[in-house]
Structure 1
Amino acid sequence: MRSLTTGYCKLLSPLRLTAVSCRCLSSNELKMPPCDFVPERYESLPYEHVVEVRKKNLSAALTTYYSKPLLLHQGHMQWLFDHEGRRYLDLFGGIVTVSVGHCHPKVTEAAKKQLGRLWHTTNIYLHSPLHEYAEKLTSRLPGKLKVLYLTNSGSEANDLALYMARLYTGNYDVISLRSGYHGASPYTLGVTALSAYKPGVANGFGCHSTMCPDVFRGIWGGSHCRDSPVQTTRTCSCSAGSCEAKERYIEQLKDTLDTSTARRIAAFIAEPIMGVGGAIQYPKGFLKDAYQLVRERGGLCIADEVQTGFGRTGSHYWGFQTHDVMPDIVSMAKGIGNGFPMGAVVTTEEIATSFARSLHFNTFGGNPMACTVGSAVLDVIEEDGLQDNCNTVGTYLLLELSKLRDKFEIVGDVRGKGLMIGVELVTDKKTRQPLPAEKLNVIWENCRDNGVLLGKGGLYNNIFRIKPPMCIKKEDADFAVAVLEAAINKYLDTAA
């Protein structure tokens, strides 16, 4: 195995600070790709004081990553820098939020100009950024999805989408998929089907979950189910043009509709690829059949694009397009603003009109700053070719990660599309028993020590979530895979 050096080169003086790619690594090991960006010297609160403030003045509900939490100071494109000048490849993008790159120059410049012109006015007044953005964003959605509501977060967006569906249909019951995450507001907690997020008090009435169509860990799955360059290693005996797994999971949805809801429902909400649930992909055709069942019951179909939207899947701009479906309502957030707090709901004129029967108001939704940033993000996605980059680099990264699955018994599954990727760790491939979270953490921490930041997720917290800024390059992918491989080797050597 390669030897790892966790130390870094000393920065001799703030005045002599050079591009922080000077990690002191021995001759045969992991070399971080170069970066010519020079971070500013950190001159704020000492690390120990920050930790103390965290304990005293911030809610204990706010968890931190890593045994020794990172104190981040600056970001540039796919890179983050801590208070000591160490550089990290960010493969989690602020929880799938940094879409075009940390502090992208064009987005930053647009924000600065608007900051000097008009920070805030509510949407009771006309202002150009709102109307320019509304036209620009809706032009990127197909069909009749042309009416926009702007919010401040994904939870708000999904909350509004559910409310809108209930108003329009006159029905109440909502269906979601187990292991799905849609937010933490009282409404959205009902459709979030992960117990870790449930507070144990009444919330989300009228919400029901159906079996998650997970073709790796679920009851059914085969070797041709996913829209991904990497399939499961499960055997598949389906005849051409058929998918037994899809049919079985649809039967479970029918059973939920027959036993848990009224005969007519309000909505079905699903992510095109699960985010917090661990990049779970459904059998091809599942969402299409699910949408048909829901509409037969009078319900609307909501596509939660909070993590999959804006080109991240590579082949399409929106995740729902990869399933050949047309939702009635689309919710979005996170990458919409590259880290600026904003979200949106887009629907049809007919559904939007029914929603106008009562006054709806959002003080900050559609404010000039958010709309200016959002507009610049849309421009950069096109100008920098980021959707194509997701397709090219994402496919390359998936295939390289699949080699780790072939090499290591504990790498049970690699899946995803574009730069929406999951790597699931197991105790062994035969039983698919999840690797305990504390063991996964050893690998995760080692990756951090060697300059790669990964997310975690899944029902058992045994899945690495890889959703980086969409500007990463192939050499970054090579570095990330090498670091992960070395971390797994180190873990196995220690565990032996």
Structure 2
Amino acid sequence: MHNYIGPENVLQKRQQYFYPCTSHFYRNPPQLVKGEMQYLYGHDGKCYCDFFAGVSVVASGHCNPEIAEQTAEQLKTLQHTCTIYLTQPNVDLAERLAGVLPGDLKRTFFVNSGSEANEGALTLARLHTGRRGFIALEQGLHGRTYLTMSVTGIQMWRTDPQLEHEKDVTFIPRPYERDVDADVTARRSLDALKAVLEQKGGEIAAMIAEPIQGNAGIIVPPAWYFPEVKALLKQYGVLLIADEIQTGFGRTGSMFAMTRLGAEPDILTMAKALGSGIPIAGFATTDEIAASYNRPSASTFGGNPVSSATALAVLDYIEAHNLPDRAEQLGAQLQEGLQAIANRYPEIISEVRGAGLMVGAELCWGDTQRGAGLVDDVLEEMKDRGYIIGKNGVDRNVLAFQPPLVITEENIQGMLTALEDTLSVLVKA
């Protein structure tokens, strides 16, 4: 017999013991108590089909038994030692990653979170180049540590007001603007990058970018954009850091999104799906660049035996079940279905965009405030119908579909039917 305290009591304790910055989805949120692959369960037994995966984390499914068994076995055998001692899971994981990472990326430094991974990557870039400066895209999100907040372009996530005085980061336009041709906006972004490099290229250590901007609304650049970015950076000896924390490990239809977009990064950061719910992250690079990180450093929990054993099981599962191809095929079904609904409700859904099972539907371009309100209404109604959907976007007016990659065609069709019914109700209201 489980003694669940219920949503009201959970909220009361959050209000009493959490920081005020901690928010939650839903006006009437459920207390989630159990997960099974693509499903979540509330304290009252209600089942929800999850189309957000804890913000792209549980890509291999909630409590996947093939993975959880390996996690539990390692937990019972050897839980922690730190990297100052020799254990096998983390070296096996580093070797395994070298076989799936793009290009010549071979060496991995393990940490606990995406913020840490990006912080480490930015530090590595400074160590290797001897330069301080960074270039970042407007509306990007890279973390909540000081360096990663400084390269974050979404204002709501730049928590420290002192960041406005940060002189080491230059932002350039992202390759996207509403109602403007994608090639035009991408060329504008590239021209801005060239101007920065011409002015102070010798001061810039790296450019950091999400291949597909996630929190900013699931923004996919034209296929030619990042190859040209990489070529331009190379002329000035500036490194390209690919933030694959949301996009990595199959979500976009390829193991890493930069591969899909045709560019080879100098440093790649990873987290989220690598542990499928167990904290593990890392930043990977080449032999040459890694050689510059030679001052003493360690991570107390990074690459611990339990996290590493879990990540190895995740990689086994991704390979055995061919999740990148699955994401490509099911993502096409999802996008086509959403676009069909958008065609029937053009006054609500302004645009559908994405890659693989990373898809966004933006609501009400003409009135983003109304769109944000509609997103909240849709999330609430869809939750009541048994579907968990996310939200993102600069104006928080984008429905985010980033489900576990184990989702089925039937799950997608059921969600699309529920979404169309929901929109029909909202239009009549």
TM-score range normalised by the length of the shorter chain? over 0.9
Secondary structure of 1:202 counterpart: helix
**Match of 1:296?**
235
Q: Partner of 2:80 in structure 1?
A: 120
Verify the 8 A CA contact 2:201 2:238 in the aligned structure 1.
Answer: no
Alignment map for 1:60-79 (pairs within 5 Å): 60-79=20-39
Structure 2: how far apart are the matches of 1:200 and 1:362?
A: 25
CA distance in 2: counterparts of 1:66 and 1:469, whole angstroms: 21
Deviation at 1:248, TM superposition (A): 2.9
Per the TM alignment, residue 175 of structure 1 is displaced from its structure 2 partner at its CA by 0.8
What SS class does the counterpart of residue 213 from structure 1 fall into? Answer: coil
Spell out, residue by residue over 1:254-285, the C-alpha distance to the aligned partner (whole angstroms, 9 max, x if none): 234456x4544110111111111111011221
Are positions 1:375 and 2:317 aligned together?
no
Kept in 2: contact 1:264–1:297 (CA 8 A): no
Q: How big is the shift at 1:434?
A: 6.2
Once the two structures are superposed, residues 372-428 of structure 1 have per-residue CA deviations (whole angstroms, 9 ceiling, x without a partner) of: 00000000011122112101111111111110121112111101111011111115x
Matched position secondary structure for 1:187: helix
Q: Which residue of 1 aligns with 2:425?
A: 490
Amino acid at match of 1:128: Q
Structure 2 distance, partners of 1:142, 1:289, is: 17
Distance 1:326 1:471 in 2: 28
Which residue does the alignment assign to 2:170? 208
User: CA–CA distance in 2 between the matches of 1:434 and 1:280?
Assistant: 19
Q: 1:329 aligns with which of 264, 267, 270?
A: 267
Please state whether the residue corresponding to 1:335 is helix, strand or coil. helix
Deviation of 1:438 after TM superposition, in Å, equals 2.1
The residue number in structure 2 matching 1:54 is 14
The secondary structure found in structure 2 opposite 1:344 is strand
- Contact 2:175–2:187 at 8 Å: present in 1 too? no
Residues 190 and 205 in structure 1, CA contact (< 8 A), matched pair in contact too = no
2:255 paired residue number: 317
Query: Contact 2:102–2:259 (CA<8 Å) still a contact in 1?
Result: no
Residues 129-208 of structure 1: pairs in structure 2 closer than 5 A: 129-203=89-163, 205-208=167-170
Query: Which amino acid in structure 2 is aligned with residue 335 of structure 1?
Result: A
Give the superposition deviation at 1:433.
5.3
Distance 1:71 1:205, change over 3 A: farther
- Distance of 2:419 and 2:191 partners within structure 1: 39
Q: What is the match of residue 253 of structure 1?
A: 193
Indicate yes or no: 2:55 matched with 1:95.
yes
Whether the 8 Å CA contact 1:42–1:73 is kept in 2: the answer is no
Alignment of 1:12-51 (within 5 A): 42-51=2-11
CA-CA distance at 1:44 after TM superposition: 2.9
* 1:473 correspondence with 2:411: no
Partner Cα separation in structure 1 for residue 391 and residue 8 of structure 2? 26
Query: Residues 211 and 257 of structure 2 are in contact (CA less than 8 Å); yes or no, is this contact kept in structure 1?
Result: yes
Task: Give matches, 1:432-447, under 5 Å.
Answer: 435-447=370-382
The one-letter amino acid paired with 1:210 is I
One-letter code aligned to 2:320: E
Instruction: Measure how far apart 1:43 and its partner are.
Output: 2.3
Partner deviation per Cα, 1:199-256 (whole Å, 9 max, x = no partner): 24324651121111115x16x31xxx5xxxxxxxxxxxxxxxxx44432331132234
Shift of the alpha carbon at 1:490?
1.0
CA distance in 2 between counterparts of 1:142 and 1:283 reads 20
Pairwise CA distance, 1:336: 0.6
Q: Give the aligned partner of residue 394 of structure 2.
A: 459
Matched, 1:268 2:228: no
* Distance in 2, Cα, partners of 1:457 & 1:475: 25
Give the conservation status (yes or no) of the 8 Å contact 2:118–2:143. yes
Q: What 5-or-longer segments of structure 2 have no aligned partner?
A: none
Counterpart pick for 1:413 among 316, 337, 351: 351
Q: Residues 334-362 of structure 1: CA distance to partner in whole angstroms, max 9, x if unpaired?
A: 00100111101110111111111x11111
Output the CA distance in 2 between the equivalents of 1:361 and 1:449.
46
Structure 1: tracts of 5 or more residues without a match: 1-40, 226-242
Partner Cα distance (2:376, 2:64) in 1: 31
> Are 2:223 and 2:262, in contact at CA under 8 Å, matched by a contact in 1?
no
Structure having the larger proportion of residues in helix: 2
Q: Which amino acid aligns with 2:267?
A: I
Are the aligned partners of 2:354 and 2:360 in contact in 1 as well (CA < 8 Å)? yes
Pairs within 5 Å for 1:204-243: 205-214=167-176, 217=178, 220-221=180-181, 225=182, 243=183
Distance 2:312 2:399 in 1: 31
Equivalent in the alignment of 2:324: 387
Contact kept in structure 2, 1:340 and 1:373, CA below 8 Å: yes
- Letter paired with 2:243: D
> Is 2:289 aligned against 1:354?
no
Q: Highest Rg: 1 or 2?
A: 1
The answer on whether the counterparts of 1:246 and 1:284 sit within 8 Å (CA) in structure 2 is: no
Give the length in aligned residue pairs. Answer: 426
Q: Tell me which amino acid in the other structure corresponds to 1:63.
A: S
Root mean square deviation of aligned Cα: 1.6
TM-score (norm 1): 0.83
Question: Which residue does the alignment assign to 1:10?
Answer: none
Q: Which amino acid aligns with 1:493?
A: K
- Distance (Å, rounded) in 1 between the aligned partners of 2:338 and 2:146: 38
**Change beyond 3 A, Cα 1:435–1:258:** farther
Q: Structure 2: how far apart are the matches of 1:137 and 1:94?
A: 23
Distance 2:359 2:278 in 1: 23
